[in-house]
Structure 1
Amino acid sequence: MIKLVATDIDGTLIRESSSVLPEEIFDLIRELRKRDIYFAAASGRQYMGLKRLFAPVADQMLFISENGSNVVWKDEELYASVIDPNLIKEMQEYAKHFPNMHLTLSTTKAMHSTGSDDLSYRKMMVDGYQNDMVFDDDEDGTKLKVIKMSLYCESGIRPYAKEIEDYWQGRLNTVVAGAPWIDFMKPGTDKGAALQFVQQYFQVKKEETLAFGDNHNDLGMILAAGEGCAVSTARTAVKEAAKHIVESYEEKGVIKALQELLKKQK
Structure 2
Amino acid sequence: MIKLIVSDIDGTLLEEGTNKLNPELLETILMLRKKGIQFAAASGRHQTSVRKTFDPILEKIFIVADNGAYLGCKNRHLFLYPLNRAMVFQMIEDVKAMADLSIVISGADIAYMEKGSDPYLEDWVVNGYQYDLKLLENFHQIQEDILKVALYRKEGVDAQYESFYKKYGGQVKLAISGRSWLDVIGLNVNKGEAVKTLQESLGIAPEETMVFGDQMNDLEMMKQAYYSFAVGNAREEVKKAARFQADTSGNNGVLKVLKQLL
Q: TM-score, normalised by structure 2?
A: 0.96
**Residue number in structure 1 paired with 2:68:** 68
Gaps of 5+ in 2: none
Secondary structure of residue in 2 paired with 1:19 = coil
The Cα of 1:137 is off from its aligned counterpart by 4.7
Shift of 1:110: 0.5
Alpha-carbon distance change, 234 to 144 in structure 1, aligned in 2, over 3 angstroms: same
Specify the alignment match of 1:247 in structure 2.
247
Alignment partner, residue 56 of structure 2: 56
Displacement, 1:143? 3.6
Separation of aligned partners in 2, 1:141 and 1:187: 24
- Provide the C-alpha distance between the structure 2 equivalents of 1:49 and 1:37, rounded to a whole number of angstroms: 23
Contact map agreement 1:116 1:136 (CA 8 A) in 2: no
1:181-200 map, 5 Å = 181-200=181-200
Q: Does the 8 Å CA contact 1:88/1:142 hold for their aligned counterparts?
A: no
- Pairwise mapping of residues 9-48 of structure 1 onto structure 2 (< 5 A)? 9-48=9-48
Supply the AA of the counterpart residue of 2:75: D
* Aligned counterparts of 1:117 and 1:219: Cα–Cα separation in 2: 31
1:160 is displaced (CA, Å) by: 2.2
Cα 1:127/1:183, change in 2 over 3 Å: same
- Structure 1: distance between partners of 2:46 and 2:117: 22
Report the Cα distance in structure 2 between the residues aligned to 1:62 and 1:207, rounded to whole angstroms: 19
Specify the alignment match of 1:220 in structure 2.
220
Answer with 202-211 or 19-28: which moved more. 19-28
Is contact 2:110–2:132 with CA below 8 Å preserved after alignment? yes
The structure-2 alpha-carbon separation of the partners of 1:227 and 1:170, relative to structure 1 and needing over 3 Å to count, comes to: same
Equivalenced residue count is: 262
- Once the 2 structures are TM-superposed, how far is the Cα of residue 144 of structure 1 from its aligned partner? 3.1
Contact 2:42/2:191 (CA < 8 Å) preserved in 1?
yes
Instruction: Name the CA distance, whole Å, in 1 between partners of 2:129 and 2:154.
Output: 15
**Unaligned ranges ≥5, structure 1:** none
1:157 to 2:154 alignment: no
> How far off is 1:164 after superposition?
1.9
Q: Give distance in 1, aligned partners of 2:11 and 2:190.
A: 18
1:63-110 per-residue CA deviation (whole Å, 9 max, x = no partner) reads 001100111122221110011111111111111122111111101111
1:176 is matched with which residue? 176
SS at match of 2:17: coil
Shift of 1:117: 5.2
1:116-141 deviations in Å (ceiling 9; x for gaps): 35332111000100101012251206
In the other structure, the counterpart of 2:110 is 110
SS in 1 for 2:223: helix
